[in-house]
Amino acid sequence: MNRSPKLCSISPPIVCGGNTCPAGVKKLERFDSFFRSQSLAWLFFGTMVLAIIVGFFDYLTGYEVTLWPFYSIPVVLMLWFGNRSLAIVISVVSTGAWWWADRASGHVYSSEWLRLWDAMVRLMFFCLVIFAGWTFRQ
């Protein structure tokens, strides 16, 4: 079930005063092994729920405070531990969650086309995140 490179393969092992890994690296390894042990279906469902949760918090904060960068967290998780195709689906879900939060929070545009433009800009941002993450992962 190994779908992406392990954390330790990205950089050489860290040696600190006789200890092979500091506590922070061990926590990252636990995080890494947890997500690697999940099925692709669970990972997809979990990242979709996470995108919706970010959208709900975005709604609670209102349209004057943006949580836009946080929508990329489920996209990156799906890309790194899942696959690129499903990361694109999660980016569309994240864009939809932003659209709902923006509309439900009462943000009024002079034209509805401007909301559509903002949604497309966010989707392009998520696609750039996918491209950068995929390139880095290679």
Do 15 and 64 lie in a common domain? no
**87 lies in the same domain as 44:** yes
Q: Residue 12 region, left (φ>0) first, then alpha (ψ -120 to 50), else beta?
A: beta
Q: Is residue 117 located within the same domain as residue 70? A: yes
Terminal Cα-to-Cα distance of the chain (whole angstroms): 18
Domain count for the chain, please give it. 2
Sign for the CA dihedral angle at 8, 90, 103, 132 comes to positive
**CB of 72 closer than 8 Å to CB of 99:** no
Residues 11, 22 within the same domain: yes
DSSP state letter for 24: H
**Residue 43 and residue 82: Cα distance in Å, rounded?**
7
The string of pLDDT tens digits covering residues 78-133 is 999 999 999 999 999 999 999 999 999 999 999 999 999 999 999 999 999 999 99
Q: What is the pLDDT of residue 16?
A: 52
pLDDT digits (tens, 9 = 90+) for 6-51: 544 445 555 555 556 666 777 778 878 888 888 999 999 999 999 9
Q: What is the span of the domain harbouring residue 55?
A: 39-137
Same domain for 30 and 45?
no
CA distances from residue 88 to 9, 100, 124, 135 in whole angstroms, order as listed: 25, 18, 11, 15
pTM: 0.78
- Check whether residue 9 and residue 53 sit in a common domain: no
Question: Is residue 45 domain-shared with residue 96, that is, in the same domain?
Answer: yes
